[in-house]
C-alpha cells in the first residue's frame, strides 16, 4: 500500500474513531432517564457540577467539530509526509489535532457556564432548550446576524481553504504543529461560536438538533465554497428569529 494511502487511512481512522466515540457518549447521555444534570435546580451548582457539564460540552464539541477539520488534518499530514517517515508522521498531526480541540475544550467551559446561568434562572427545559421565547429569538438573531458579518467571512475562509491556512501559518517542529492547531481552532471558534448558541434553541440534549447543526458546520466548512451558503442560512435565521420575537411580543 502506498505511503500516502496508509497516511490517509491513519488520519481518517483517528477522526472517525474519536468522533464516533464522542457521538456514542452523547447518545448515552441523551438516553439517560435520570437526566439529573439537565433538570432545573433549586440549589446552586457545585464545582463538580460545572466540571461535569463542561465535560459534556467537550464531548459534544468533539463530535460536532472534529469531522469538519478533516480536510485540514489530511492536508497537514500530507505536508508532513514530505519531511518525516511514516513511523514519525502521526506525532505532528496528533499535536495539530490536540491544539485544535484544546480551543474547543476551552469554549466548552463557556458553554457550560452559560448553561449554569440559564438553569439557575430556570430558563431551560429538561433537554436544555430555552423555555423563553424572547431568549430563543435572541439566540436566533445573534446567530443569523453574525453569519452576515465580515468577521464570519474572515474566519470561514481559513476553514474553507486549508492550503491557504498552511501557507500563511506554517510552523516547524512539534511545538509549531501544536501552535498551528491552536491557531486553526481559534479561527474555527470565530467562525462557529454564534451557531453553537442555537443548541439552546433546539436543545443541547436533542441529538437530532445537534446532528443538524453539526451537518451544517461540515457543509459550510468542508463542502461548500464561498460565503453565500452561510449568508443564506443567516438570512433564514434572522427571519426565524424575527418571527419568534414578534410572536413572543404579541403574547
Q: What does pTM read for this prediction?
A: 0.87
Q: Are 136 and 237 in contact (CB under 8 A)?
A: no
pLDDT tens column, 204-213: 989 999 999 9
Burial 29-59, CB ≥16 within 10 A → b, else e = bbeeeeeebbeeeeeebeeebeeebbebbbb
Cα–Cα distance for residue pair 91/81, rounded to 1 Å:
12
pLDDT tens column, 85-97: 444 455 788 999 9
pLDDT tens column, 159-169: 999 999 999 98
Among 16, 23, 12, residue whose Cα is nearest residue 72: 12
Question: In 10 A of CB 205, how many CB atoms?
Answer: 24
DSSP 69-89: GHHHHHHHHHHHHTTS-HHHH
Which residues of the chain have a pLDDT value below 50?
Answer: 1, 33-40, 85-88
Amino acid at each position: 500500500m502506498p505511503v500516502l494511502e496508509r497516511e490517509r487511512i491513519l488520519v481518517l481512522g483517528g477522526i472517525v474513531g474519536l468522533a464516533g466515540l464522542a457521538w456514542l457518549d452523547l447518545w448515552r447521555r441523551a438516553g439517560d432517564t435520570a437526566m439529573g444534570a439537565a433538570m432545573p435546580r433549586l440549589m446552586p451548582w457545585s464545582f463538580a457540577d460545572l466540571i461535569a457539564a463542561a465535560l459534556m460540552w467537550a464531548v459534544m464539541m468533539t463530535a460536532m467539530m472534529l469531522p469538519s477539520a478533516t480536510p485540514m488534518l489530511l492536508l497537514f499530514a500530507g505536508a508532513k509526509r514530505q519531511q518525516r517517515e511514516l513511523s514519525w508522521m502521526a506525532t505532528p498531526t496528533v499535536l495539530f489535532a490536540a491544539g485544535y480541540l484544546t480551543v474547543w475544550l476551552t469554549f466548552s467551559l463557556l458553554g457550560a457556564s452559560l448553561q449554569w446561568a440559564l438553569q439557575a434562572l430556570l430558563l431551560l427545559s429538561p433537554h436544555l432548550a430555552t423555555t423563553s421565547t424572547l431568549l430563543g429569538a435572541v439566540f436566533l438573531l445573534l446567530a443569523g446576524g453574525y453569519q452576515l458579518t465580515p468577521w464570519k467571512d474572515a474566519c470561514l475562509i481559513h476553514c474553507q481553504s486549508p492550503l491557504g491556512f498552511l501557507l500563511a501559518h506554517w510552523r516547524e517542529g512539534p511545538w509549531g504543529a501544536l501552535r498551528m492547531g491552536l491557531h486553526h481552532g481559534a479561527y474555527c471558534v470565530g467562525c462557529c461560536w454564534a451557531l453553537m448558541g442555537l443548541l439552546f434553541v433546539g436543545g443541547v440534549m436533542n441529538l437530532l438538533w445537534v446532528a443538524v447543526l453539526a451537518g451544517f458546520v461540515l457543509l459550510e466548512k468542508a463542502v461548500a465554497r464561498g460565503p453565500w451558503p452561510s449568508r443564506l442560512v443567516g438570512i433564514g435565521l434572522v427571519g426565524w428569529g424575527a418571527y419568534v420575537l414578534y410572536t413572543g411580543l404579541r403574547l
